[in-house]
Structure formats: C-alpha cells, structure tokens
Structure 1
Amino acid sequence: MKRYVIYRRVSTNEQGKSGLGLEAQDRDIRLYLESYSDQPFEVVAEFTEVASGSDDRRPELSKALDVARKHGAELLVAKLDRLSRKVSFIASLLDDRRVQLRVAAMPQADKFQLHIYAALAEQEREFISIRTKAALKEAKARGVKLGGARDKTLKRNQEVQRKATERAQNVAGLIQPLRDAGKSLREIAAELNRAGVRTARGGQWQASQVKRTIERLERA
C-alpha cells in the first residue's frame, strides 16, 4: 500500500491563522490522491508549518521527514515552493535516499525534473528582483514619484497578475497531461469539471478559460 506524509506551508502568521493558502494546498493534494496515486493508499501523518520559504528552520518539516523515513512513506506537498524556495535546500532532500518526494501539481515529475524546476524557479525569482530594482532606479532617475496612487495601482495590477499566474500553475499538473494526450480545450474543461476543480471565481470551466490558462502558463 502506498503511504504518504502530507506537508503544508504558509508564509505568515496571518495566513496560518486565517487558513489562507491552506485550502488551495488541500485541494491540490486531494486531486493528486484521487487522480494519480496508487490505490489504496494511506496518509500516515499530516503537518502544517507557518514559515517563510527562505527559512530553513522547519520543525514541522523535520517531523514530517522523520515520520516519512520511519514508515517508508512519500513526502507529499502541493507545490515545490511549499517545500522551499531555495534550490540548495530542495537538492539536499532529493539527495536523501530515504526520502521520496512527491509534488501534487507535478504528479509525473521525477527527482531530476524537480531539481531542474527548482533551479529555474530560483533563477527566475532572482531575475525578477533585479529587474524590479532596475525599473525603480530608472523611474527615480526620470523624476517619477514612487509610492503615489499610480504606483499603488501598478502594485495592485501586479498582484492580480501574480495570483492569476499562481492559479494557472496550480492546475498545470492537470492540464498538461491532458494536452499531451491530445485532448481538446473543451475536453480538458470537461475533465477539470469532472474532477471538481473550480475556476478562480468558483464556477465551471469553459474552453475559453482553459485557453487563457494555457496561454498564461506559456508566458510564465
């Protein structure tokens, strides 16, 4: 029987107290267990942590790893960045022969693919940080006042785009295999609805929404 130890992480005390972010992780984990896991399976233990993705001090993760090693269970996380945002930290876990890592949003990914993804994600974050600093420096040189209403609107729009991209990435692990299988946009929408996956507004998927999600994933 396949065994799992589930690990969730949220970034701040506010998120931990309100449950923000946990619901999405629970959904992705549930979808993986229902759609991709060997049957039957057993969830040995579940752990939830409130910590920054760049903080390696993870008492709950340490407990989860200990239990996984003891029971020969796979450590199951919703997304790779829930484990850590540091490629070095992820690499150390991937190198541990007693730890089997499974990412719900990338159900078919092996250790090598997860390592590559973590490295690319870290590079992307570094580039975004450098690009943002450069843009602010250029704006300041042009005499643009930062922190005004226009900047607030820009930040709000950026946050909307970020959340939209994050939602797209949450369903990428479901959409991509269906695309690879040659399914049409309408058929993919039907599969998502059949699996109980909701759109950002909690509604049913349409072909047009699948198309926009795929385009957003390609841009990301």
Structure 2
Amino acid sequence: MHQHTTADLYLRLSLDREGKTAIDRQEADCRAWAERNGLTVRKVHIDRGRSGYKNVSRKGFDAAITAATAGVVGVLVVWKLDRLSRKGIGEVGKALDDIGRVGGRLVSVMDGLDTQDDSARVTIAMLAELARNESRNLGMRVGSAKRYLRRRGQWIGGQPPYGLLVDPETKKLVHDPETAVYARLIADEALSGKALVHIARLLNERGVESARGGEWNSSSVMQLLRSPASPDSCRRPSTRSRQTGHAST
C-alpha cells in the first residue's frame, strides 16, 4: 500500500563552499512545505559535494529515487528541480515516469511544482533542459578560462602544491620559502627509492608540519608526490638554498 502521507527529502550541493548552511536551508524549506501539507518526513537523502550534471555516483539520489519508485513514500520533495538533476529531461523524465507509475508525486518547493498537477510536467521538462544547458555552458566557460590561464603559465585555482605558492601579481606558481626545501627533500628521497613511511618518519623527526597540519604519514607523502605542478614552477632550488633551508626565488 502506498504511503501517501509520508515524504522523503532529497538535498544536494555541488560545491560545499557554504559549509553545512546551504544544505540546512534546503532541508528547512522542504520540511516546512511538508508540514504545511500534512506530510511526515520519513528520511532525508543528501549528496554533498556531488554534481547533478557529471556522471558521478550519487548514493543519496539513488536511495531517494528507489524509495519513491518502490512506493515506500508517497512524495519525493526537492528544494529546486536542479537539485534533483542537471542531466535534462532524460534523467528527470524517467524519474517522473517511475514515480508516477506507483502513484507517487515529485515536488519542487522553490519552483512551486507538484506533479499531482498534470500541467507541472511541461514546466518540469523545460526547467530540466534549462538546468542541463546551464551546466553545459558553465563547463565550457570554465574550461576555456582554465586553458587561457595555462597558456599564460598561471595557476588555474585551488590549493597550490606543497612547496609552492601563487604570486599575487603574476598569478604564477613560485617557491614557498617556508616549505619548498622540504618538498625537494621529499622528491629526492622518493627518487632515491626510499619508502614513503621512511620519508614521513624523516619529516616528523625534523619537526616539519604536514601540508594539512599535524604529522606526516605514507598517505600524505603519496598525495604530495601526486600533486600537479607546471615544469616551470618546479625547478630545483639552488644548492645554497637547500643547504640553508630556504628556497631560491
């Protein structure tokens, strides 16, 4: 028997830059809608830091769709339709068909859409395609900007590799006078065939703080060795710099 008085919430945030606040806001709005409409929230499914456009695993999405299409709940509530998916009507349409087949409903709170109203499907189809196009165009703009910065030899963004920092004027990677010598030490030890655990122990014995703070271990050393950096920004510090413990500039 279909549980028409129960609802599951699906919440998603692509980039968790706002911390927990953005997810909390989605949940509060969705819960308020459910309460106004006499529904009991059974479960909240969350995909934090997961794209709705790229082909990535979304366990929260899968669980939410499964519950709604199996008739475990009568209503699947999302904050906005683009939180559910940015893959267009292909994915959204299938979800609508599967949920509708068992007599369920999809509700998008901020869009004011409820598939209980037959006319909502047309609007949902339009919004689904708009979300897909928006993500595709954004990806094209970001890709173009990154290619431009790479051609200029500038850092494309994010945390610079250990031992390097971004020059505020040129936006290029330069040696960090505090950590470059240790980055070179790690590279030299690794190239000489030393085990990662040995390198971590060596750094800890010297009182060197890891890239994320605290002590080094084999995993943090491996992560550093895999960090991307352009050849121009990874030149070996001078002999004098390595001896004195400061990177050349």
TM-score using structure 2 length: 0.46
Question: Who is 1:214 aligned against?
Answer: none
1:94 aligns with 2:92: no
Matched to 1:27, the amino acid is A
CA separation in 2, counterparts of 1:5 and 1:132? 34
Q: Quick one: higher RCO (CA 8 Å, sep 6+), 1 or 2?
A: 1
**Change over 3 Å in CA distance of 1:60–1:121 after alignment to 2:** closer
Contact persistence 1:45–1:67 (CA under 8 A)? no
Q: Who wins on radius of gyration, i.e. which is larger?
A: 2
| CA–CA distance in structure 1, aligned partners of residues 143 and 75 of structure 2 | 40
Q: Unpaired segments of 5 or more residues in structure 1?
A: 153-220
Q: Tell me how far 1:81 sits from its aligned partner.
A: 2.5
My pick for the range that moved more, 111-120 or 52-61, is 52-61
Structure 2 residue matching 1:57: 3-state secondary structure: coil
| Residue identity opposite 1:123 in structure 2 | N
In the alignment, which residue of structure 2 is the partner of 1:4? 7
CA displacement at 1:43 relative to structure 2:
1.8
Partners of 2:79 and 2:109 within 8 A in 1: yes
CA-CA distance at 1:113 after TM superposition: 1.0
Query: Which of 101, 104, 108 is equivalent to 2:109?
Result: 104
How much does 1:27 deviate? 2.5
2:238 — aligned with what?
A: none
Identity of aligned residues (%): 24
Equivalences for residues 15-164 of structure 1 within 5 A: 19-34=20-35, 37-38=36-37, 40-50=38-48, 51-53=50-52, 54-55=54-55, 57-68=57-68, 69-87=70-88, 88-96=90-98, 97-98=101-102, 99-108=104-113, 110-134=120-144, 149=168
Alpha-carbon distance in 2 for matches of 1:2, 1:45: 13
**Whole-Å Cα distance in 1 between the matches of residues 63 and 143 of structure 2?**
38
Distance 1:79 1:140, change over 3 A: same
1:110-136 deviations in whole A, cap 9, x for unaligned?
222112101012112222333444466
Q: Secondary structure at the match of 1:5?
A: strand
What CA RMSD, in Å, does the superposition of the two structures yield over aligned residues?
3.5
Flag the 1:135–1:78 CA change in 2: closer, same or farther, 3 A. same
Does the CA-based 8 Å contact 2:34-2:40 persist in structure 1?
no
SS at match of 2:44: strand
Q: 1:20: Cα distance to partner?
A: 4.5
* AA in 2 matched with 1:59: K
Indicate if the aligned counterparts of 2:9 and 2:27 stay in contact, CA closer than 8 A.
no
State the shift of 1:149 in Å: 3.9
Q: Could you tell me how far 1:151 is from its partner in structure 2?
A: 9.1
Q: Secondary structure at 1:9's aligned position in 2?
A: strand
Aligned length: 146
Choose 98-107 or 131-140, whichever is displaced more.
131-140
Kindly indicate whether the alpha-carbon contact (under 8 Å) linking 1:10 and 1:22 is maintained by their aligned counterparts in 2: yes
TM-score by length of structure 1 reads 0.51
Deviation at 1:49, TM superposition (A): 3.0
Instruction: Decide which structure has greater helix share.
Output: 1
**SS of match in other structure, 2:113:** coil
Unaligned runs of 5+ in 2: 115-119, 157-166, 172-249
Q: Is the 2:96–2:106 Cα contact (8 Å) retained in structure 1?
A: yes
The Cα shift of 1:70 comes to 2.1
